[in-house]
């Protein structure tokens, strides 16, 4: 081992003892050639990127059009999250619940340690201290990821507050989430993502893909944090956070949960339609993927975005769908698995300009063979580069949430928007969420599945307990947000999308804030409150009669079947499922019979 890389003395004798001890244990197991403690500095990043450029891990993009941008091509078999290889390892299997793959912690440790044994020989082991959330926020939590991937280091530097300030906080607090990662051989048969919520620990082997390897993100900020949040009385959610400023100058914050690759980044960065812009409406972005929230002293829920960057899906990002994202990724961005133009610019399907000549597998572009960009190709960029970035992202107190929105890809049945009658009904709406699967995880795309609160791949414990935890927030003293459900993806008979989406979604947000303030009307139905036709501003939107009927109508027969299926789904969780949720389902199912 190259001792010159090891600077343990700097951390000796302090409350970092447990960190030093763990690092030493991991080094003894994995046998790296060198150990490097990451400080997050520019100099460190420059040295790492230069080394990655030299060995081909990173390819420099056109410096004139995309200064500071890089392309990384992953192993073709390692392009997405692997839900079938992701485990929650609790002592009692029921604590992980039917929503998770489970393995006994001792078995999981033995399996992983056998994989990690000697796996970093000849490689550098990086120790990455990071903070999820503003460095001085009581809502934030710290972790340390040990990895042998410099690509992971470079991405973690963008996605988290990484380096010296995080290490100082860990030293103060004396505790942190332990994440151990190795890319291993990138062999899908030797790939596992294991979570040990009771130990606040993660072990990930065999993948370099973001959701499997950037352990601060899905593994820590959702799976481990959801467990921590339950024990500490807060919520860790798969939600964007946006600020909506109205012409009166009031800003309302909205948190919205959609499954992976269903438009969270687009909604978080929405640019209002022309008329709304003129009137003074603005959207600011606090987060695009993860939201940690807890009740403040006034009983409202206050939210932070634990992340510092965006790991967004590239395909489909365009001037029409998301001009703010496009502007964000013109510089200092790591692109993963996109195509290239002749002059070395990144290219993906849906981009307004340019032509691909090389595809994501470094082969000449041939549309008959494969798309230029992998459908789950990504950009990693600092949130501060986004034109709609909200300085409130750094507020240690978080932002007060006025509305929570649930939504999924539902080609049929589900109208454009409806509002929950109360919190319990809102929790049921979240629990019953369904959506078509996307390329963000390996497996078939376009298959309908229940994805409660968009947390199916991310909840670190039994969904039945998770729903109970949500219900507990309604304790008589909290002033909880209003809850809504949206569906931007309703299709007509011809298969076309009926709602224009993107910037036009502001019209729906406007109605929600009207409901929060008590100024907008609604029609009551068994499934919730729908906007009265006159209450949603549709001026300038050209909707067919079919679209009007499907987007704003309520199909009682279809919903009767849907509620029967929701009832069956809740039953799958057995006696742990909270009675209040089952009662709510039965009450609405009975109304639908009428
Ligand atoms: C993501 C995902 O990368 O949900 O955010 O897969
Ligand atoms: Mn996500």
The CA 180 to ligand 1 mean position distance, Å, reads 20
The CA 126 to ligand 2 mean position distance, Å, reads 25
In a domain, residue 65? The reply is yes
Contact 403, 252 (CB under 8 A): yes
Using the predicted structure, report yes or no on whether residue 3 has a pLDDT greater than 60: no
Residues 318, 350: Cα–Cα separation, whole Å: 6
Using the predicted structure, report yes or no on whether residue 14 has a pLDDT greater than 90: no
Domain shared by 462 and 348, yes or no: no
Bridge partners (DSSP) listed for residue 243: 253, 284
Residues 584, 528: Cα–Cα separation, whole Å: 12
Structure confidence at residue 439 as a pLDDT band (50, 70, 90): confident
Q: Provide mean pLDDT across the span 13-21.
A: 82
Using the predicted structure, report yes or no on whether residue 533 has a pLDDT greater than 90: no
For CA atoms 577, 100, 96, 483, the dihedral sign is negative
In 265-389 the beta strands, taken as DSSP E runs, fall at 282-287, 291-295, 301-304, 309-313, 334-336, 339-341, 346-347, 356-358, 378-382
Of 215, 233, 251, the residue that ends a domain is: 233
Domain shared by 351 and 403, yes or no: no
Which run of H or E residues covers position 530? strand 528-531
Contact 305, 393 (CB under 8 A): yes
The CA 541 to ligand 2 mean position distance, Å, reads 30
Its domain, for residue 348, covers 338-373
The residues, any chain, with a CB within 8 Å of residue 289's CB and separated by 6 or more, are 217, 238, 239, 240, 264, 265, 307, 310, 311
Angle at 202 between CA 200 and CA 204, to 5 degrees: 180
Determine which residue's CA is closest to atom 4 belonging to ligand 1.
260
- Residues at CB less than 6 angstroms from ligand 1: 81, 210-211, 260, 289, 311, 440
Structure confidence at residue 520 as a pLDDT band (50, 70, 90): very high
pLDDT at residue number 247? 96
Distances in Å between the Cα of 561 and the Cα atoms of 134, 521, 556, 588 are 45, 28, 9, 12
The residues, any chain, with a CB within 8 Å of residue 6's CB and separated by 6 or more, are 34, 35
Contact 115, 222 (CB under 8 A): no
Query: In which residue are the tokens 């993660």 written?
Result: 202
If one counts every other C-beta atom within 10 angstroms of the C-beta of residue 210, the result is 24
In a domain, residue 470? The reply is yes
Determine which residue's CA is closest to atom 1 belonging to ligand 1.
260
Using the predicted structure, report yes or no on whether residue 488 has a pLDDT greater than 70: yes
Contact 58, 45 (CB under 8 A): no
Say which CATH number the domain at 13 has: 3.40.449.10
Using the predicted structure, report yes or no on whether residue 286 has a pLDDT greater than 60: yes
Determine which residue's CA is closest to atom 3 belonging to ligand 1.
211
Domain shared by 9 and 88, yes or no: yes
Q: Provide mean pLDDT across the span 65-72.
A: 98
For 543-557, what is each residue's pLDDT tens digit?
A: 999 999 999 999 999
pLDDT at residue number 5? 42
What atom of ligand 1 comes closest to residue 81's alpha carbon? 6
pLDDT at residue number 436? 87
Q: Are strands 201-205 and 177-182 parallel, antiparallel or unpaired?
A: parallel
Q: Provide mean pLDDT across the span 341-355.
A: 97
If one counts every other C-beta atom within 10 angstroms of the C-beta of residue 135, the result is 15
**Number of domains making up the chain:** 3
Structure confidence at residue 444 as a pLDDT band (50, 70, 90): confident
Structure confidence at residue 438 as a pLDDT band (50, 70, 90): confident
Between residues 242 and 261, which one has the greater pLDDT?
242
Identify which of 74, 83, 209, 210 to mutate to test ligand 1's pocket (most ligand atoms within 8 A of the CB).
Answer: 210
In 133-279 the beta strands, taken as DSSP E runs, fall at 141-147, 161-162, 177-182, 192-196, 201-205, 235-237, 240-245, 251-257
Domain shared by 461 and 361, yes or no: no
pLDDT at residue number 4? 36
Using the predicted structure, report yes or no on whether residue 584 has a pLDDT greater than 80: yes
What atom of ligand 1 comes closest to residue 311's alpha carbon? 3
In a domain, residue 330? The reply is no
In a domain, residue 286? The reply is yes
Domain shared by 95 and 117, yes or no: yes
Domain shared by 196 and 178, yes or no: yes
Three state DSSP letters for 544-588: CHHHHHHHHCCCHHHHHHHHHHHHHHHHCCHHHCCHHHHHHHHHH
Angle at which helices 423-431 and 556-571 pack, to 10 degrees? 80
Helix (H, G, I), strand (E, B) or coil at 420: coil
Query: In which residue are the tokens 């009662």 written?
Result: 583
Of the chain, the percentage scoring pLDDT greater than 90 comes to: 94
Bridge partners (DSSP) listed for residue 414: none
Bridge partners (DSSP) listed for residue 145: 128, 179
Residues 316, 98: Cα–Cα separation, whole Å: 34
In a domain, residue 203? The reply is yes
What atom of ligand 1 comes closest to residue 441's alpha carbon? 6
Active-site residue among 131, 219, 262, 386? 262
For 82-130, what is each residue's pLDDT tens digit?
A: 999 999 999 999 999 999 999 999 999 999 999 999 999 999 999 999 9
Domain shared by 143 and 44, yes or no: yes
Domain shared by 439 and 495, yes or no: yes
Residues 548, 542: Cα–Cα separation, whole Å: 10
Identify which of 261, 266, 314 to mutate to test ligand 1's pocket (most ligand atoms within 8 A of the CB).
Answer: 261
Of 233, 251, 283, the residue that ends a domain is: 233
What atom of ligand 1 comes closest to residue 378's alpha carbon? 3
Contact 348, 377 (CB under 8 A): yes
pLDDT at residue number 1? 42
Identify which of 440, 441, 454 to mutate to test ligand 1's pocket (most ligand atoms within 8 A of the CB).
Answer: 440
Residues 430, 552: Cα–Cα separation, whole Å: 20
As a whole number, the mean pLDDT across the chain is 95
Domain shared by 342 and 218, yes or no: no
Contact 147, 213 (CB under 8 A): yes
For 449-467, what is each residue's pLDDT tens digit?
A: 999 999 999 999 999 999 9
Token code pair at residue 162: 């990484």
The CA 260 to ligand 1 mean position distance, Å, reads 5
Give backbone dihedrals phi and psi of 346, rounded to 5 degrees, phi first. Answer: -70, 145
Domain shared by 348 and 458, yes or no: no
Ligand number nearest to the C-alpha of 81: 1
DSSP conformation class of 444: -
Say which CATH number the domain at 569 has: 3.90.228.20
Q: Order the strands of the 378-382 sheet from edge to edge.
A: 59-60, 70-72, 334-336, 378-382, 309-313
The CA 552 to ligand 1 mean position distance, Å, reads 30
Which run of H or E residues covers position 590? helix 579-593
User: Buried b vs exposed e over 333-358: b needs ≥16 C-beta within 10 Å?
Assistant: bbbbbbbbbeebbbbbbebeebebeb
Using the predicted structure, report yes or no on whether residue 9 has a pLDDT greater than 60: no
Domain shared by 444 and 575, yes or no: yes
| CA atoms within a 13 Å half-sphere pointing along the CA-CB vector of 205 | 23
The CA 393 to ligand 1 mean position distance, Å, reads 20
Using the predicted structure, report yes or no on whether residue 6 has a pLDDT greater than 70: no
In a domain, residue 8? The reply is yes
In a domain, residue 136? The reply is yes
pLDDT at residue number 268? 98
Using the predicted structure, report yes or no on whether residue 564 has a pLDDT greater than 80: yes
Determine which residue's CA is closest to atom 2 belonging to ligand 1.
260
Identify which of 155, 211, 288 to mutate to test ligand 1's pocket (most ligand atoms within 8 A of the CB).
Answer: 211
Of 146-160, 170-184, 229-243, 431-445, minimum mean pLDDT range:
431-445
Residues in the chain: 594
What atom of ligand 1 comes closest to residue 289's alpha carbon? 5
For 26-50, what is each residue's pLDDT tens digit?
A: 999 999 999 999 999 999 999 999 9
Residues 276, 247: Cα–Cα separation, whole Å: 9
Distances in Å between the Cα of 67 and the Cα atoms of 72, 333, 344, 349, 540 are 15, 9, 12, 22, 39
In a domain, residue 165? The reply is yes
Of the chain, the percentage scoring pLDDT greater than 70 comes to: 98
Using the predicted structure, report yes or no on whether residue 494 has a pLDDT greater than 80: yes
Short-list 485, 410, 491, CA closest to 446: 410
Q: Provide mean pLDDT across the span 379-396.
A: 98
What atom of ligand 1 comes closest to residue 313's alpha carbon? 3
DSSP conformation class of 36: E
The CA 241 to ligand 2 mean position distance, Å, reads 13
Residue ranges of the alpha helices (H) in 432-534? 463-472, 506-517
Token code pair at residue 132: 């999820």
Establish whether 262 is a catalytic residue: yes
Domain shared by 243 and 229, yes or no: no
Token code pair at residue 549: 């009927």
């Amino acid at each position: 081992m190259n001792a010159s890389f090891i600077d343990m003395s700097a951390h000796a004798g302090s409350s970092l003892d447990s960190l030093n001890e763990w690092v030493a244990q991991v080094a003894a197991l994995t046998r790296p050639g060198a150990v490097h403690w990451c400080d997050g500095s520019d100099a460190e990043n420059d040295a790492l990127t230069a080394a990655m450029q030299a060995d081909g891990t990173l390819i420099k993009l056109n410096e004139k059009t995309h200064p500071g941008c890089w392309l990384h091509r992953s192993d073709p078999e390692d392009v997405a999250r692997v839900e079938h290889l992701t485990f929650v390892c609790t002592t009692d299997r029921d604590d992980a619940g039917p929503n998770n793959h489970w393995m006994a912690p001792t078995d999981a440790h033995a399996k992983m340690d056998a994989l990690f044994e000697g796996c970093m020989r000849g490689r550098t082991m990086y120790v990455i201290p990071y903070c999820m959330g503003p460095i001085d926020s009581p809502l934030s939590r710290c972790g340390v990821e040990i990895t042998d991937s410099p690509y992971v280091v470079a991405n973690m530097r963008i996605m988290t507050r990484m380096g010296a300030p995080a290490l100082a906080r860990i030293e103060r607090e004396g505790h942190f989430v332990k994440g151990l990662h190795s890319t291993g051989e990138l062999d899908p048969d030797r790939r596992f993502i294991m979570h040990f919520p009771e130990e606040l620990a993660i072990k990930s082997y065999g993948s370099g893909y973001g959701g499997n390897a950037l352990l601060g993100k899905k593994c820590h900020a959702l799976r481990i944090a959801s467990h921590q949040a339950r024990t500490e009385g807060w919520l860790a959610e798969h939600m964007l956070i946006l600020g909506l400023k109205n012409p009166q100058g009031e800003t309302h914050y909205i948190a919205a949960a959609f499954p992976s690759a269903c438009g969270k980044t687009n909604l978080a960065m929405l640019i209002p339609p022309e008329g709304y812009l003129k009137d003074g409406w603005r959207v600011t972005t606090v987060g695009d993927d993860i939201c940690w929230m807890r009740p403040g002293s006034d009983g409202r829920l206050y939210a932070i975005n634990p992340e510092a960057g965006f790991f967004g899906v590239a395909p489909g990002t365009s001037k029409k769908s998301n001009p703010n994202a496009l502007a964000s990724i013109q510089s200092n961005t790591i692109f993963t698995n996109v195509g290239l133009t002749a002059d070395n610019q990144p290219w993906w399907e849906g981009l307004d300009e340019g032509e691909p000549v090389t595809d994501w597998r470094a082969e000449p572009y041939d549309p008959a063979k494969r798309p230029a960009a992998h459908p789950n190709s990504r950009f990693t960029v600092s949130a501060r580069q986004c034109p709609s970035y909200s300085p409130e992202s750094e507020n240690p107190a978080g932002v007060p949430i006025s509305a929570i929105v649930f939504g999924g890809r539902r080609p049929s049945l589900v109208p454009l928007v409806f509002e929950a009658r109360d919190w319990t009904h809102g929790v049921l709406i979240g629990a019953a969420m369904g959506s078509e699967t996307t390329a963000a995880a390996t497996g078939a795309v376009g298959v309908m599945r229940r994805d409660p609160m968009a947390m199916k791949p991310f909840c670190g414990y039994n969904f039945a307990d998770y729903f109970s935890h949500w219900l507990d927030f309604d304790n008589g003293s909290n002033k909880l947000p209003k809850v809504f459900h949206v569906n931007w993806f309703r299709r007509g008979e011809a298969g076309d999308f009926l709602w224009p989406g993107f910037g036009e979604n502001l019209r729906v947000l406007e109605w929600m804030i009207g409901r929060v303030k008590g100024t907008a009307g609604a029609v009551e139905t068994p499934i919730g409150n729908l906007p009265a036709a006159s209450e949603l501003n549709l001026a300038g939107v050209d909707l067919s009669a079919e679209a009007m009927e499907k987007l704003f109508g309520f199909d009682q027969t279809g919903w009767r079947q849907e509620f029967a299926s929701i009832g069956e789904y809740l039953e799958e969780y057995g006696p742990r499922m909270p009675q209040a949720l089952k009662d709510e389902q039965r009450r609405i199912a009975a109304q639908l019979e009428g």
